Amino acid sequence: MKRLILWAPLVVFVVFVATVAIGLYAPADRKITSKLIGKPVPEFTLGPAVPSHPPLSSDMLKRGEPRLVNVFASWCLPCIAEAPQLMALKQRGIPIDAIAIRDRPADVATFLAKWGDPYERIASDPQTQVQIALGSSGVPETFIVDGRGIIRHQHIGDIRPEHIPDIIRAYEAAK
Amino acid sequence: MIAEAGLAALWLAAALSLLQLFFGATALRPGGEALLRAVRPAAMAQGLLAALSFLLLIQLFLRTDLSVKLVAANSHSLKPWLYKFAGAWGNHEGSMLLWVTILAVAGGAVALLERRLNERTLIATLAAQAAIGLGFYAFLLFASNPFERLNPAPAQGQGLNPLLQDPGLAFHPPTLYLGYVGISVAFSFAVGALVTRDVGPVFARAMRPWVLGAWIFLTLGITAGSYWAYYELGWGGWWFWDPVENASLMPWLAATALLHSVTVLATRDSLRAWTVMLAVVAFSMSMVGTFLVRSGILTSVHAFAVDPQRGAFILVLLGLYIGGALTLFGLRVHTVKEGATFEPVSREGALVANNLLLSAILGIVLVGTLYPLGVEAVTGEKLSVGPPYFNTAAGPIALVLVAVMAAGPLIRWRRDKVGELLGRIALPILIAAAGLFAAVLLAPGVRILPLLGLVLAAGTAAASVAPLWKRNLRRTPLFTWGMVVAHLGIAVSLAGMASESAFTREKLVAARIGDVVEVGPYTIRFDALEPVAGPNWTAIEAKLSARKGDGEPFTLNPQARMFSSPPTETSEAAIVTRWNGQLYTVLGKGDGQGRWQLRLWWKPAVTLIWFGGILIALGGLLAIIGRVRRERRGAPLQEAYA
């Protein structure tokens, strides 16, 4: 038994190498179709994440026009990377709401001031309950919800400049 | 010619490392003893040639030789000379050359200076160091040649990333690398000792100064990097749990654990297998860190040139070295007899607790850093793990660790009585209790983690100087002073961190010229806005005047800078340091209607964070001087630790 424990570090290391090797060689952006696509947004009501913006609930995503819902956090570095792309989408007239994960009002305000504010409503999800209900396991993620509250598209990870045409296409299709 | 000479020196150094490995491996076989004497000179010559190659690269940067691809891509003739100089390692190829140079010079230094270790173990150590070097030479020569020419040479270089155009670049990467790569010596020592089955107090005493040396530089490098990020990024934070920061923290945690376990091994001949394991882990963490940063596999604020092929190359090296060392460990370590045993309540027991807690934090940081990778490999999702995880998971353990650290030096070796121990730590506990009382009374509403941090810092500061109590200070050994200073540094740093997170005042405003804003005890007036120009940038500069109560006003001039080559905007924070904290101001964007975004922070006692870091490194320095001096005088068999 004691002899076996001596090999444990090697086993951990082999798992590490296997994981990163997959990370290195896997195609950069694999498409994942979320199980929630085509299903209605789960019911939720959340408080505001920051005093300057109204909060968000699932009812507000069923008012006839499609919207983007961006799941983000002020402490998340890829969220900073995607901020210019969200601003670009907003300037094309796409309405964007947000859910801030495990965040504090002051941090969210600083984030918006520093990296841009494309959002109409921002909800606070301190315990990540809504995030989990949405089938999102990390930040950032972006959902496109049509006017009846049905999820039409899920983008996992940060939106890069090359993803913008896809997002716009999915948004137009949700109309 | 300089570039060709540099490349030739690099090839020669690589050839010597191959020879060094071959000589070493042959010399250890029966009948190969004749080659024993060839290994040390090979290691020293290899160190000299690698250093020469690196100096020639610096020369190319100082001259801005644009016919060299690396210089053309990263430098510019109009750059101030300091950044031309530091620009030599402000890029992938140059920094990898620095990496290899430190590896070779460290090996050469071991060959030159190490006299205590059993000769066969030393030869095995040098062979292991050469084996590591060989892989990284191959990486440089075949995948990241820093001396590659460019034909035709461009008329002007592309310039250095403006975020790197800062005196921090001259100091932070070399010190960090000295620690990061210097710890390779511990790895090679461990491999050498496993090969010759020679793990014991002599081995531990020989390894200790090298571990201490690398650890001092690692501490300084992390401290410098933290301060640099704090003032350069303009985010007002001193630690972001960024993957690259974690990559430097993990070897530090492992090296700190190693530093303490090696002392147990040297003093009491316990923890043999564990010490060898830690020596392997410490440098493995350096290599894993290098891989994570250079392969671009994680998203980070440190933008290095990213190339999956290079990532694959480093991954193969990693697999060979770490996999090889761990296999050797699995095969050999059971033949290493476990040394002396001890009671749980003893200095050894406290050091074991220290090691376990440090390892736990290391595990938390490692898991948090790799979790996004693991999730991506399994499900393809990309995500980011941030401070909520790290602070919640590692914070409480770190506080327990500090508490153990405070009590540790007051516990006797071998066996101690709990009652007597309580008597010795009664005063620090009283001071901590008084601190708790004062904090709750004077500053209600402080969150639990910073509050505990402040209280613990007070108690630990008292406990850390307690080993000097009732001692003749002039006859106290220098390494005891080192321990006291380093532990005091932890308390000071912790006080700074807790104070920063508990008492920072922040204001974010859109201000017009003439507006007055208050932050903490200061009143700040937005006086004017002026354009200014530097050697390779232009900027808009805000003139702010700040005063505390009716005190003398002083000015702060934060800038929003535009660099021309490459075109980039950065914000230069203006920071004023007072004895009790820092006023930190950043100028943001204008709204086009005469209002400018200003971010203002008052951070009480924040400077203690880095002052503590310097104290920790100073403690290490005192310890190393004390140890080496004692060895020179002829080490006693049973040595005292404190």
Q: Which of A76-80, B232-236, B250-254 has the lowest mean pLDDT?
A: B232-236
pLDDT above 60 for B251: yes
pLDDT bin (cut points 50, 70, 90) of residue B306 is low
Q: What are phi and psi of A19, to 5 degrees?
A: -60, -50
For B374, the closest of A19, A140, A158 (CB atoms) is A19
CB contact under 8 A, A17 and B281: no
List, for residues B600-640, the tens digit of each pLDDT value.
889 988 999 999 999 999 999 999 998 888 877 765 444 44
Tokens of B499: 């104070």
Min Cα separation A145/chain B (Å): 20
Q: Given this model, what pLDDT does residue B280 score?
A: 93
Return the residue in B194, B297, B383 with the most chain A beta carbons within 10 A, the one to mutate for interface testing. B383
Note whether A2 contacts B: Cβ–Cβ < 8 A: yes
Structure tokens at B553: 């006003």
As to burial, measured by CB atoms within 10 angstroms (0-12 exposed, 13-18 middle, 19+ buried), residue B585 is buried
Most confident of B47-56, B243-252, B492-501, B587-596: B47-56
State the count of interchain CB pairs (< 8 A) between A and B.
Answer: 114
Task: Give CA–CA dist B625/B629, Å, rounded.
Answer: 6
User: For the segment B326-372, what is each residue's pLDDT rounded down to a tens digit?
Assistant: 999 888 887 777 667 778 888 888 888 999 999 999 999 998 888 87
Among B21-30, B86-95, B557-566, which stretch is predicted with the lowest mean pLDDT? Answer: B557-566
Which tokens in the block code for residue B501? Answer: 């997170």
Handedness of CA A98, A102, A108, A114 (dihedral sign): negative
What residues of chain A lie within 8 A of the CB of B287, using their CB? none
Match 């020679």 to its residue by tokens: B198
State the Cα–Cα distance between residues B184 and B251, nearest whole angstrom.
Answer: 11
pLDDT digits (tens, 9 = 90+) for B530-550: 888 887 778 889 999 999 888
Question: Are B60 and B6 in contact, with CB atoms under 8 Å apart?
Answer: yes
Burial label for B420, CB within 10 Å (0-12, 13-18, 19+), is exposed
> B597–A139: do the CB atoms touch at under 8 Å?
no
| A117 reaches B (C-beta below 8 A) | no
Mutate to test the interface with A, among B313, B381, B384, B599 (most CBs of A within 10 A): B384
| From A17, A32, A73, residue closest to B386, measured CB to CB | A73
Q: What separation in angstroms does the CA of B33 have from each of B27, B40, B119, B283?
A: 5, 13, 11, 30
CA distance B480 to B485: 9
pLDDT at B228 over 90: no
Nearest chain A Cα distance for residue B368, angstroms: 13
CB contact under 8 A, B381 and A26: no
Contact A13 B388 (CB under 8 A): no
How distant is the Cα of B302 from the closest Cα of chain A, in angstroms?
11
Q: What residues in B contact A6, CB-CB < 8 Å?
A: 273, 329-330, 333-334
Q: Which of B295, B379, B508 sits opposite A24 (nearest CB)?
A: B295
pLDDT tens sequence across A24-52: 776 544 444 456 778 888 888 888 999 89
- CA B602 – CA B259 distance, rounded (Å): 37
Nearest to B282 by CA among B263, B261, B299: B261
Average pLDDT over chain A, rounded to an integer = 84
Contacts B329 to A, Cβ<8 Å: 6, 9-10
CA–CA dist B298, B304 (Å, integer): 11
Q: When comparing pLDDT for B33 and B204, which is higher?
A: B204
Return the minimum-mean-pLDDT range out of A125-134, B104-113, B405-414, B421-430: A125-134
CB contact under 8 A, A156 and B380: yes
Tell me how far apart the alpha carbons of residues B349 and B252 are, in angstroms, rounded to a whole number.
Answer: 22
Q: Is B223 helix (H, G, I), strand (E, B) or coil?
A: helix
Q: Is the peptide bond before A165 cis (omega within 30 degrees of 0)?
A: no
Percent of chain A that is helix, strand, coil (3-state, to 5): 40, 20, 40
- Give the closest-approach CA distance of A63 to chain B in angstroms: 30
Q: What is the rounded CA–CA span in Å between residue B502 and residue B379?
A: 39
pLDDT in tens, B121-173: 999 999 999 999 999 999 999 988 999 888 777 777 777 766 677 777 888 88
A124 CA: distance to closest CA in chain B (Å): 15
Kindly state the tokens that stand for B451: 């509050």
Nearest to A76 among B273, B319, B386 (CB): B386
Q: Which residue has the higher pLDDT, A84 or B469?
A: A84
Percentage of residues in chain B having pLDDT higher than 70: 93
Chain A closest-CA separation from residue B294 CA (Å): 12
Q: Give the pair of three-digit tokens for residue B593.
A: 């209607």
For the record, the structure tokens of B422 come out as 């309580």
pLDDT computed for residue B307 by the predictor? 64
Model pLDDT, residue B593: 77
Cβ contacts of B465 within 8 Å, gap of 6 or more? B484, B488
Cβ of A26 and B377 within 8 Å?
yes
Contact of A121 with A55, CB cutoff 8 Å: yes
Distances in Å between the Cα of B85 and the Cα atoms of A95, A127, B56, B79 are: 49, 49, 11, 10
On the 0-12 / 13-18 / 19+ scale of CB atoms within 10 A, B419 is: exposed
CA distance A128 to B13: 54
Q: Which tokens hold the place of B424? A: 């010795």
How many angstroms away from the CA of A61 is the closest CA of chain B? Answer: 25
- The answer to whether B381 touches B438, Cβ cutoff 8 Å, is no
Q: Which of B174-178, B198-202, B372-376, B614-618 has the lowest mean pLDDT?
A: B372-376
How close are the terminal C-alpha atoms of chain A, in Å? 63
Angle, CA of B260, B266 and B268, to the nearest 5°: 95
- The answer to whether the Cβ–Cβ distance between A17 and B284 falls below 8 Å is no
**Mean pLDDT value of segment B7-15:** 95
Looking at residue A30, its pLDDT comes to: 42
Of A16, A102, A138, the CB nearest to B383: A138
The Cα–Cα gap between B577 and B57 comes to 37
Beta bridge partners of B506: B601
Cβ of A16 and B370 within 8 Å? yes
SS3 category, A67: strand
Please report the beta strands in B389-430, taking only residues with DSSP state E, as ranges in sequence order.
none
Residue B58: CB partners within 8 Å, gap ≥ 6?
B85, B88
Facing A138 at nearest CB: one of B319, B377, B384: B384
- Nearest-CA distance A148 → chain B (Å): 27
Selected residue with higher pLDDT from B339 and B290: B290
ipTM: 0.74
Measured CA to CA, the distance from residue B640 to residue A56 in angstroms comes to 65
Of A6, A79, A102, the CB nearest to B329: A6
Q: What number is the average pLDDT over the span B20-41?
A: 86
Residues 6+ positions from A7 with CB-CB distance below 8 Å: B330
- Judge whether B405 and B484 are in contact, CB under 8 Å: no
- Cβ pair A47, A76 in contact under 8 A: no
pLDDT band at B642 (very low <50, low <70, confident <90, very high): very low
- The structure tokens listed for B393 are 């998971």
Closest CA to B204 of B253, B112, B274, B252: B274
Mean pLDDT throughout B14-37? 88
Nearest to B299 among A9, A81, A114 (CB): A81
pLDDT of residue B560: 85
Subunit contact A9:B281, Cβ cutoff 8 A: yes
Is A13 within 8 Å of B242 when comparing Cβ atoms?
Answer: no
Distance CA B516, CA A21 (A): 55
Chain B residues lying within 8 Å of A157, measured CB to CB:
381-383
pLDDT in tens, B41-95: 999 999 999 999 999 999 999 988 888 888 888 887 777 888 888 888 888 889 8
- The C-alpha atoms of residue B449 and residue B340 are separated, in whole angstroms, by 38
CA angle B558, B564, B570 (to 5 degrees): 30
Contacts of A13 in chain B (CB under 8 A): 284, 322-323, 326
Q: Does A13 touch chain B if contact means CB atoms closer than 8 Å? A: yes
The pLDDT score that the predictor gives to residue B7 is 94
Is the separation of the CB atoms in A67 and A99 below 8 Å? no
Residues of A in contact with B277 (CB under 8 A): 9
Residues of B in contact with A109 (CB under 8 A): 508
Beta bridge pairs of residue A156: A141
A156 in contact with B at a CB cutoff of 8 Å?
A: yes
Indicate left, alpha or beta for B589 from its phi (over 0: left) and psi (-120 to 50: alpha).
beta
Within 45-84 of A, beta carbons closer than 8 Å to B belong to 73, 75-79, 81
Mutate to test the interface with B, among A11, A12, A15, A16 (most CBs of B within 10 A): A16
Cβ-Cβ contacts under 8 Å, A20 against chain B: 291, 295, 297, 315, 373, 377
CA dist., res. B619 & res. A70, Å (int) = 48
Whole-number pLDDT of residue B179 = 92
Is the preceding omega at residue B152 within 30 degrees of 0, hence cis? yes
Contact yes or no for A24 and B329 at CB 8 A: no
For residues B391-415, average pLDDT: 88
Which of B384, B506, B597 has its CB closest to that of A139? Answer: B384
The Cα B545–Cα B361 span in angstroms is 43
Q: Best of B318, B338, B382 to disrupt the A interface by mutation (most A CBs within 10 Å)?
A: B382
